[in-house]
Amino acid sequence: MRNNEKKNKHMTLDDRIKIQECLSKGMTFRAIGQRIGKSQTTISREVKIHMEPYTNSFVRTEEVCPKLLKAPFVCNGCEKKSRSSCPYRRQLYTAKKAQAEYDTVLVESRTGIPLNKESFYETERIISEAVQNGQHIYHIIQSNNLPISTATVYRHIQKRYYSITPMDLPRAVKFKPRNSKESDYVPKWAREGRTFDDFLAFVEDNSDLPLVQLDTVIGRIGGKVIMTIHFVNSDFMIGLLLDNKTVAEAANKIQNLKAEFKGFRL
């Protein structure tokens, strides 16, 4: 199977086993992605979601290993992960555990997670207290194994479901709200035969058809624009200066142009 054919497929256990093997060899996310036909962003997200802390008798500090603060974020390929010389808590990616967690999430997303008042308020208490102590949302969820996503927590905070507010999140208050625009719905039947590929096929079948292409060159936003009119067959183009980018202005300029050439004969 080619990479582009697997790009949008769900990750399988075989994929996760390959990720674990590649991590043990010290390969980068980009190289792993190329190996299994996924983007490096997908590999990074997979590892971050399913990595788990691991503690043994060698751990002598609660501090985070500096190497875990950057990719690949796990100790799979570290030479010191089984040595007593490393005092830090380990963090590993295991394929079978990752697959089991994925299967659980997949089932829960289809059946829904039973939510009750007690579990919600307990989760709220843990998150709010940890945020007030300066901890990051993602770290809170991972360290406490909370059954909630980071996006859901931020959404609950924005809706004032928690005792904390966005002002308690130093980074969140700097974010600007995203521009949201609902796209106009176009029914499937209205798109049939009207795609760009359909247009190219039509042009190829009707090469002698006189075609005219319109485009707009924008300078300063809100200022004047140039509307170009390209006569494809003769490869001739003219430009009309418009005071603004509106249908009425374009129609007015074209009417004026027609009036200029009225009665003109070659």
Q: In terms of C-beta density within 10 A (0-12 exposed, 13-18 middle, 19 or more buried), how is residue 215 classed? A: exposed
Whether residue 52 sits in one domain with residue 11: yes
User: Are 86 and 120 contained in the same domain?
Assistant: no
Q: Are 91 and 71 in contact (CB under 8 A)?
A: no
Spatial distance between the Cα atoms of 211 and 5, rounded to a whole number of angstroms:
37
61 and 120 housed in the same domain: no
Q: Which domain covers residue 18, as residue numbers?
A: 1-112
Instruction: Give the pLDDT of residue 139.
Output: 87
Give CA–CA dist 73/44, Å, rounded. 9
131 and 59 together in one domain: no
pLDDT attached to residue 13: 92
Q: Which residues of the chain have pLDDT under 50?
A: 1-5, 7
Domain end among 126, 148, 174: 174
Same domain membership, residue 138 and residue 40: no
The pLDDT score that the predictor gives to residue 178 is 64
> Are 104 and 159 in a shared domain?
no
Q: Is residue 37 part of a domain?
A: yes
Q: What backbone torsions phi and psi does residue 245 show, to the nearest 5 degrees?
A: -95, 80
Q: Is residue 194 part of a domain?
A: no
The pLDDT, as a whole number, for residue 117 is 67
Give me the torsion for CA of 37, 43, 46, 49, rounded to 10°: -170
**25 in Cβ contact with 34 (< 8 Å):** no
Instruction: Identify the bridge partners of residue 232 per DSSP, sorted by sequence position.
Output: none
In a domain, 265, yes or no: no
Evaluate whether residue 127 is within a structural domain.
Answer: yes
Same domain as 102, residue 36: yes
62 and 162 in a single domain? The answer is no
d(CA 180, CA 251): 31
**Domain match, 34 and 133 both:** no
Residue 181 within a domain: no
Give pLDDT, residue 1: 43
The residue among 112, 134, 152 that closes a domain is 112
State the pLDDT at residue 2.
46
Last residue of a domain, one of 174, 190, 220: 174
Flag whether 188 is in a domain: no
- Judge if 145 and 104 occupy the same domain: no
In a domain, 201, yes or no: no
Q: What is the pLDDT of residue 170?
A: 66
- 130 within some domain: yes
How many domains would you assign to the chain?
Answer: 3
